[in-house]
Each structure stands twice: as structure tokens, then as C-alpha cells.
Amino acid sequence: MLNNCHIITKSDDYFHCFWPKCQFKTKVKQQLTSHQLIHSEIKQFKCDFNKCHKSYKQFKHLIEHKNRVHLNFRIVCKFNECNKSFASKSGLDYHVQSFHLKSNKVLNCFWPKCQFTTSDKQCLTSHQLIHSEIKQFKCDFNNCEESYKWRAQLAQHKNIVHLNAKNSSRLYWISNERKFKCNEENCGKSFGQKSDLNQHKRIHSGEKQFVCHFKNCIKSFHRKRDLTEHMKRHLNIKSHKCIHNNCNQSFVTKWELKQHCNYKHDN
């Protein structure tokens, strides 16, 4: 439960989050209040659709859930005939800022010896979680105390450990219905979300929009998660550790850990 939620600290014209090791700050008091719900265990915003038991810490996440799952409501980007659609205004705003109004200002990672740079503030914030020890996404299944830095990691944990969806990397709330089909010749792949289909199409088009910003590195990727994995290799971050007795090896990806266990420990 969130403690001392009434405490608001302000310095240098910014409101700062009081949570230990959290570096969030804003000039808008209401944004800080909304942000602090991330650290809370309380999910006060509940879905009122029949037989849906989802609940959320923030109201905007409830609205996004309703739009995506129950209403199939999408907000279309009208910028230069883009026509991409989103379940929330925040998603649309982020898309416009990132792809249509992208700033030339260079933002640098504060971590010592990290050469990551970007012009996208949210991308920088997401990147900095690599260095942080904060694991804000906590499992809400009974008697489970696991927590993760990224929402996708939590979703994968729920899939594999609690929902018995082995080898699944998809988010646990996404329907198994794959109604978005790739129309490329001889492809035949289909996806549960249009965004996944659009991401897949980059493989056919050759588009690699996720570029590594490390010095002298010219790598680029179709998918953001591939870029994240690549950056971990630059930083030698190996977060997947082998739990077998007397084995101290660790790996960048879960797949590498699985391969290691199969070859070294599987009897």
C-alpha cells in the first residue's frame, strides 16, 4: 500500500516523487499524484463490463482497456494522412510526438559510461530502467512476490507461471484470436493485434526504425525489444541467471538461458 501519499515535494520548479530511487519529476502537481499510483498496490478503477474482472491503478489505463477489449474504439492519427489508430489519446499523442513532431534535441543517459542517446524523452525513460533496481510491476497472483522492471516481463511471467501458457511471450490479456493477417505473398502469418501486424510488416519492407545510438555501432532493428536486447549486450547486462546448484552463469536473454539449461543441466 502506498504510504505518505500526501507528501508532495517541490524544488527547482518541479514536483518530485518521494518514492525511494524514483527519479520522476513534473511541473504539474496532478501528474505527480497520478504517477504515484504506479507505486501503490491499490487498483481502484474497475471494469464494469459483464464478467470482466480487470482493475487498474490509473483511470486512463481502465479507459484504454475498455477501448481495446470491449469497445474496439480507436483514435485515428490525421497527421499527413498517417491513419494509424490507437486505443487512447495518450497513445496517439506519443505517436505524434515520436514520429511526426520528433525533436532534434539529443537526450543523453545519465548513467556513467553509458553512451545511449535519443531525441525521445519517453524512450530515454524506458532505457534508464535497464540501469535501475526498481521493479515497479508486481505480480498480483496470490502468494506471488515476483516483480519486474517492464510490464512485458510481468505479463510473460503470468503467462508461464500462473496461466500455464508455456513458451508464450504474448501479453496475458491479449486475445488468442488472430484476425489481422499479413497479405504478403507466401507469408500467411496472422496476429491478435494490428500493431503486431504492422511490426511484422517491417520485416517484409526492410524498415529498421529502432537504431542503436552507441558510438561506432551501426546496428538497427525491426523491433524495439531486439534493440533493447542489443543494448544489454553493449552494457554487459545479463539478467537471466541459472538457478541450478553451483552454476553461476547468467545470460542476456531468456532463450540463451533455456539453451544453456537444456545442454548443461538437462538429464
N- to C-terminal Cα separation, the chain: 44
Q: At which of 170, 193, 228 does a domain end? A: 170
In this structure, which long-range contacts are made by residues 214-217, counting pairs with CB atoms below 8 Å and at least 24 apart in sequence? Answer: 214/115, 214/116, 215/115
Amino acid at 74: R
Q: pTM of the full predicted structure?
A: 0.32
Q: How far apart are CA 144 and CA 111, in angstroms?
A: 32
Is 211 a domain residue?
Answer: no
**Domain housing 3:** 1-42
pLDDT score of 165 more than 60: no
Give pLDDT tens digits for 5-40: 444 455 567 888 877 777 788 888 877 877 777 777
Is 69 a domain residue?
Answer: no
Number of domains present in the structure of the chain: 3
CB contact at 8 A, 191 and 171: no
Q: How far apart are CA 180 and CA 196, in angstroms?
A: 9
CATH code assigned at 255: 3.30.160
Is 199 a domain residue?
Answer: no
Is 65 a domain residue?
Answer: no
